[in-house]
């Protein structure tokens, strides 16, 4: 068992540290001369891709959070309207699906019962279905019209880490492929995105080299039973994943909030000493985030701010700061989630819990 974990205490930590490789492997062979080329992976025709008038991301759990990020990315890069649904809702809510709808089903295992049922509903309604999955030969890979594999390698820990970051990469690749075919980005923009994507493995590596820095904060929050995550824009999608991770393996209750929405209810729960993790990597809404941080600080919160390297502002309004390397704003989630994964991991360890096999949860939920 020790050998399988390659010297790490838990599979989850091993898998967190495998992310640079998972990202690199998922990118491999799919970028040529500054352009995303998915010809080896998917054979939707240019006509098919040009005819898409809406996209639905459908998934469960962590994969659903990848879909939430996908909405922002596709809408920004391709200007096609996107909806995101949890599969157990989608399958029963009679969604509006036509032959020009693309349904993107995201599933690490490719076997999640609700996700498969949603895939089948979408096909029955005549949609085109793209599967994003990590398991070759899985039901999703067999039943989707087209498949874009993530190459994260086997994920053993119940809490998903490297599969999530690989799903984000697959979504960027598909969005850039669509953007090229539909002409929504020019060559220089495509080149800027592909260059930044190829830098992500090395940037992820630099975060992992500083992993220990997050340990003291994790040990601090391990003493609490409640905390908040806040973020805006893409950071909001990332904190939802960070909050899920923490709940899954540390059993600490947390809520992820769109920072601007706090004042409409949640602020009532902010009291002395409650930890708030504020993700502030999106420059376009940075000032707004700082205002929200000041709001929670004024009510006694203890704030961990996670921002970009070189940012000298965030540190002035928070109690503690962590930074991540800068990349293009849309790509930041890949890096921003890593400190949140580590935070959950170390909090679970500090509480003496079974990190890799949390109570009540299964790696793959193959029954409804």
- Out of 20, 61, 307, 339, which residue is the one contacting ligand G6P (CB under 6 A)? 61
Q: How far is the CB of 109 from ligand G6P (least distance, A)?
A: 3
By beta-carbon proximity to ligand G6P, the closer residue of 63 and 322 is 63
Contacts of 115 (CB under 8 A, 6+ apart): 58, 59, 60, 63, 87, 105, 106, 107, 140
User: Can residue 365 be called a binding residue for ligand G6P (CB under 6 A)?
Assistant: yes
Quote the tokens at residue 51.
């005819």
Catalytic site residue 363?
yes
Work out the end-to-end distance of the chain between its first and last CA atoms, rounded to an integer number of angstroms. 31
H-helix or E-strand spanning residue 24? helix 19-27
Question: Which sign does the torsion angle of CA 196, 198, 203, 208 carry?
Answer: positive
Q: How far is the CB of 34 from ligand G6P (least distance, A)?
A: 31
For residue 143, the tally of other CB atoms under 10 A from its CB is 16
Q: Which of 5, 123, 357, 363 is catalytic?
A: 363
- Out of 26, 101, 112, 327, which residue is the one contacting ligand G6P (CB under 6 A)? 112
Question: How far, in Å, CA of 220 to CA of 214, rounded?
Answer: 10
User: Can residue 364 be called a binding residue for ligand G6P (CB under 6 A)?
Assistant: yes
Site for ligand G6P in 307-346 (CB under 6 A): none
Site for ligand G6P in 142-161 (CB under 6 A): 158, 160
Contacts of 362 (CB under 8 A, 6+ apart): 158
3-state secondary structure of 253: strand
Quote the tokens at residue 274.
């409650």
Q: How far is the CB of 54 from ligand G6P (least distance, A)?
A: 22
Question: How far, in Å, CA of 208 to CA of 325, rounded?
Answer: 12
User: By CB under 6 A, which span of 7-15, 26-34, 61-69, 324-332 interacts with ligand G6P?
Assistant: 61-69
CB-based burial, 234-265: b 16+ in 10 Å, e otherwise: bbbbbbbbbbbbbbbbbebebebbbbeebeee
- Out of 62, 165, 250, 282, which residue is the one contacting ligand G6P (CB under 6 A)? 62
- The residues that bridge with 258 in the sheet, in sequence order, are 231
Site for ligand G6P in 267-306 (CB under 6 A): none
Q: How many CA atoms lie within 13 A of 321 on its CB side?
A: 17
User: By CB under 6 A, which span of 27-35, 59-67, 70-78, 209-217 interacts with ligand G6P?
Assistant: 59-67
By beta-carbon proximity to ligand G6P, the closer residue of 116 and 185 is 116
By beta-carbon proximity to ligand G6P, the closer residue of 58 and 230 is 58
User: Can residue 63 be called a binding residue for ligand G6P (CB under 6 A)?
Assistant: yes
User: Can residue 60 be called a binding residue for ligand G6P (CB under 6 A)?
Assistant: yes
Give the ranges where 251-331 is alpha helix by DSSP (H).
286-298, 314-317
Size of the site for ligand G6P (CB under 6 A): 16
By beta-carbon proximity to ligand G6P, the closer residue of 84 and 296 is 84
Closest chain position to ligand G6P (CB): 61
By beta-carbon proximity to ligand G6P, the closer residue of 326 and 356 is 356
- The residues that bridge with 164 in the sheet, in sequence order, are none
User: By CB under 6 A, which span of 9-17, 104-112, 172-180, 208-216 interacts with ligand G6P?
Assistant: 104-112
Residues that bind ligand G6P (CB under 6 A): 60-63, 107-109, 112, 115, 158, 160, 361-365
> Which residues are marked as active site?
363
């Amino acid at each position: 068992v020790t050998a399988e974990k390659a010297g790490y205490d838990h599979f989850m930590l091993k898998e967190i540290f495998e992310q640079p490789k998972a990202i690199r492997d998922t990118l491999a062979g799919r970028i040529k001369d500054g352009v995303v080329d998915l010809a080896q992976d998917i054979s939707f025709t240019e006509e098919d891709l040009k005819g898409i008038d809406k996209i639905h991301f459908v998934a469960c759990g962590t994969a659903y959070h990848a879909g939430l990020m996908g909405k922002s990315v596709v809408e920004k890069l391709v200007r096609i309207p996107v909806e995101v649904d949890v599969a157990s809702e989608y399958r029963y809510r009679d969604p509006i699906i036509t032959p020009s709808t693309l349904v993107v089903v995201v599933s690490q295992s490719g076997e999640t019962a609700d996700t498969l049922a949603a895939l089948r509903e979408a096909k029955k309604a005549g949609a085109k279905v793209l599967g994003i999955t990590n398991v070759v030969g899985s039901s999703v890979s067999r039943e989707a019209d087209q498949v874009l594999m993530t190459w994260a390698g086997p994920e053993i820990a119940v809490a998903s880490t490297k599969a999530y970051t690989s799903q984000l990469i697959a979504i960027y690749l598909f969005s850039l492929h669509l953007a090229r075919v539909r002409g929504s980005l020019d060559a220089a923009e495509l080149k800027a995105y592909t260059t930044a994507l190829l830098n992500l493995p090395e940037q992820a590596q630099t975060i992992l080299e500083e992993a220990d820095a997050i340990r003291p904060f994790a040990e601090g929050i391990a003493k609490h039973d409640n905390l908040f995550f806040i973020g805006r824009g893409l950071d909001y999608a990332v904190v939802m994943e960070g909050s899920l991770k923490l709940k899954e393996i540390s059993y600490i209750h947390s809520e992820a909030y769109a920072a601007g929405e706090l004042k409409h209810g949640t602020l009532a729960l902010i009291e002395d000493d409650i930890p708030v993790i504020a993700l502030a990597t999106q420059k376009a809404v940075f000032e707004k985030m700082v205002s929200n941080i000041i709001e929670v600080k004024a009510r006694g919160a203890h704030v961990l701010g996670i921002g970009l390297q070189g940012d000298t502002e965030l540190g002035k309004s928070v109690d503690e700061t962590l930074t991540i390397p800068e990349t293009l704003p849309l790509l930041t989630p890949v890096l921003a989630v890593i400190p949140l994964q580590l935070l959950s991991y170390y909090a679970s360890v500090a509480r003496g819990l079974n990190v890799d096999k949390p109570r009540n949860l299964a790696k793959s939920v193959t029954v409804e």
